Amino acid sequence: MLYTEVLNKNKDFLNLYRRGRSIVSRTVVIYFRKNGLPCNRFGITAGKKVGNAVMRNRAKRIIRQAYRENELLFPLGIDIVFVARRQAAEVKEDKLSEYLRKYAVEEINAYLASSEETKI
């Protein structure tokens, strides 16, 4: 991934869950927050409710690929965590990619633009 580092530390995940904004869909919940760095940080979680190990790994592969296809559309300097839901293992890659392109990126950009306006 070109402008993205992997989010590994548990405290970063917990901080994002507590203080970040969220976007909810049938397949994923997306948490995001500004990080003040010149790159994005990206993480994926898939709990046992998603299914067995095969389904959890499939969901993570689909999410990772959809993010990779739309990485250039996301603004720089944010932390993003995707939490897989049950539907994530069953959805086609192009559907999730389309959702990210049409809705998630727009909502993240709109929120970050509105937060910039309130600071001025």
Specify the pLDDT at position 112: 86
pLDDT at 120: 55
Quote the pLDDT of residue 20.
Answer: 92
First to last CA, the chain: 33
How far apart (Å, rounded) are the C-alpha atoms in residues 50 and 112?
30
Show pLDDT as tens, one digit a residue, over the chain (120 residues).
678 899 999 999 999 999 999 999 999 999 999 998 999 999 999 999 999 999 999 999 999 999 999 999 999 999 999 999 999 989 988 999 999 999 999 999 998 888 776 665
Return the structure tokens found at 6. 């992997």
The DSSP secondary-structure symbol of 75 reads P
Q: Are strands 4-6 and 40-45 parallel, antiparallel or unpaired?
A: parallel
**What is the value of pTM for the model shown?**
0.91
CA-to-CA distance for 99 and 103, rounded, in angstroms?
Answer: 6
Which residues contact residue 49 at a Cβ distance below 8 angstroms, ignoring those fewer than 6 apart? 85, 86
